[in-house]
Amino acid sequence: MGGYGVSLVGHCHPKIVSAIKEQCERLIACHGSLYNDKRAELLEKLVEIAPRGLSKVFLCNSGAEAVECAIKVAVKYTGKSEIISMVRGFHGKTIGALSATWSQKYRDPFKSLLNPNFKFVPFGRLDKVEEALTENVAAIIVEPIQGEGGVYVAPNGFLEGLRKICDEKNIVLIFDEVQTGFGRTGKMWASEHWGVTPDIMCIGKAMGGGLPIGATLAREDVMNVLKVGEHTSTFGGNPLACAAASAVIDVIIEERLVERAWNLGNKFKTMLQRLVEESRILREVRGLGLMLGLETRVDIYDILMKALGKGVILLYSGRNVIRFLPPLVIELEQIERVIQVLREVLLEEKKKLLISNSGCR
Ligand SMILES: Cc1ncc(COP(=O)(O)O)c(C=O)c1O
C-alpha cells in the first residue's frame, strides 16, 4: 500500500528525518510573501528535475490543491471555461478537483456544487476527445496512468494525440502526476514514457516524505496570468515541508530510486504475471515501474482482509483491482513475500469458490 503512494522513500528515511529536525529548530513557518532559503532551494531542485519548460511553481499542501490551481490557471490563461476530464479519472475531492473526478460515489452527494463545465471522455479515446471539443474548452486534464481508477496506462499515441490537439486549439494540457510522479513508474515523471510535456503538471503525495506538500508546475507564460495575491495558500511552501521535499529529491537521486523502481517493478510485474497464469481468479496485470494493478474476477475484499491477517497491507482500486504502490526502497525479498502471501490467499479463495460452486457448506 505504501501509504497510498506517499511513502515513496519509506518511512522516516534518516535523511528526511534529519532535514526536518534541522529545519524545525530554525524556522517552521514563513508566509509565501517573504523570502525563505529552504523554499528557494526546493524550487531550484524541483525545476531542475521537472519536464523541460515547466519552470514556474505554485506550492500548496495537497494534490487536490495542486489541481485547483491548475484549473484556475488554465481558465484564466485561455479565457475559456470548459474542461475535458477522463472517465475513471481521479483528481481529488475539493469542489474543483471533484468536478474533474469521475467516480459517482464521490460526486453524487455533492452534485449540486459541482461545476457543469467539466465533460468526461473515455480514457485512451482520441476520437471521443475530438467529439467533446468546443470553442470553449480551456483544458484537458489527465493522469498518464490512472491510479484510483484501476491502474490503467495511457495507450501509446493517446498523450501524444492530446498534445497535438491542445497545440492546435489553444487548449492547456494538464497532467496530474500526483500519484505517478517522483520516479514511481520508472521515470521521474510518467509523461516521460511517451516523451510528452504538458503545459501544467500537478504533483503531491510522495513529495514531502510524509509531510503535506503539493505543487503546480507550469510554463512561465501560462503561470504568469496569475497576478500577485490572486491564488495563494497560507501554509503553501512553508520551510518545514520544503526542507523535507528537498531531502526527498536528494534521496531519489542519490539512491537512484527511479532506476530501482523500473528494475524492481519489472520483476514484480513478471511475478504477478505468473500468478495470473496460475490462477483463474485473476484477469490481468497492468502498470509501469512500481505502480501496478492486479485485476481479479472476484470481489477483492476477502483477499485484502486475508492478506492483512498475514501481515501484508494491500490497496484496492475499486472492487476488483489490487493496486501496488510500494516504497521504491522496497527489497526484492519483500516483494517475494507479498507474492507468497498472495499465492496462499488466492488458493484459499479458489477453494472457497469451488466449495460454494459445488453447493457444499
Ligand atoms: C492522481 C491524483 N490526483 C489528485 C489526488 C488528490 O490528492 P490529495 O488526496 O493529496 O488531495 C490524488 C490522490 O489520491 C491522486 O491520486
Q: In this structure, are 125 and 268 located in the same domain? A: no
The CATH number covering residue 290 comes to 3.90.1150.10
Least confident of 17-26, 112-121, 229-238, 351-360: 351-360
The pLDDT of 23-38, averaged and rounded, is 96
Q: In this structure, are 228 and 266 located in the same domain? A: no
Q: In this structure, are 268 and 233 located in the same domain? A: no
The CB of 212 under 6 Å from ligand 1? The reply is: no
The range of the structural domain enclosing residue 203 comes to 8-254
Q: In this structure, are 23 and 112 located in the same domain? A: yes
How many domains are there within the chain? 2
Single out the residue of 120, 194, 202 nearest to residue 161, CA to CA.
Answer: 194
Is 308 a member of any domain? yes
User: Residue type for 142, please?
Assistant: V
Q: At what angle do helices 37-49 and 239-254 cross, to 10 degrees?
A: 40
The CATH number covering residue 24 comes to 3.40.640.10
Among residues 254, 276, 291, which one ends one of the domains? 254
> CA–CA separation, 180 vs 328, rounded Å?
12
Q: 325 near 338, Cβ under 8 Å? A: no
> CA–CA separation, 8 vs 182, rounded Å?
8
Q: In this structure, are 150 and 271 located in the same domain? A: no
The CB of 148 under 6 Å from ligand 1? The reply is: yes
Is 2 a member of any domain? no
**4 CA: nearest ligand 1 atom:** 14
User: What are the tens digits of pLDDT across the range 174-202?
Assistant: 999 999 999 999 999 999 999 999 999 99
Mind giving me the DSSP string for 254-296?
HTTHHHHHHHHHHHHHHHHHHHHHH-TTEEEEEEETTEEEEEE
Q: Which residues are catalytic?
A: 90, 176, 205
User: What are the tens digits of pLDDT across the range 258-308?
Assistant: 999 999 999 999 999 999 999 999 999 999 999 999 999 999 999 999 999
Q: In this structure, are 197 and 269 located in the same domain? A: no
> CA–CA separation, 133 vs 119, rounded Å?
10
Is 141 a member of any domain? yes
The pLDDT of 240-247, averaged and rounded, is 98
The pLDDT of 103-116, averaged and rounded, is 97
Q: What is the pTM of this model?
A: 0.97
pLDDT of residue 122: 98
Distance 146 CA to ligand 1 centre (A): 11
Sign, CA dihedral 278-284-289-292, equals: negative
Classify residue 242 as exposed, middle or buried by CB count within 10 Å of its CB (0-12, 13-18, 19+).
buried
> CA–CA separation, 338 vs 320, rounded Å?
18
Cell of 353: 469458490
Distance 147 CA to ligand 1 centre (A): 9
Distance of CA 23 to the CA centre of its chain: 27
Nearest CA to ligand 1 atom 13: 92
Question: CB atoms < 10 A from the CB of 359, how many?
Answer: 6
User: What are the tens digits of pLDDT across the range 140-169?
Assistant: 999 999 999 999 999 999 999 999 999 999
pLDDT of residue 287: 98
Among residues 221, 254, 287, which one ends one of the domains? 254
Cell of 280: 483463474
Q: In this structure, are 166 and 200 located in the same domain? A: yes
* 328 phi/psi in degrees, rounded to 5: -75, -10
Q: In this structure, are 57 and 192 located in the same domain? A: yes
Return mean pLDDT, the chain.
Answer: 96
The CB of 61 under 6 Å from ligand 1? The reply is: no
Q: How confident is the model at residue 350 (pLDDT cuts 50, 70, 90)?
A: confident
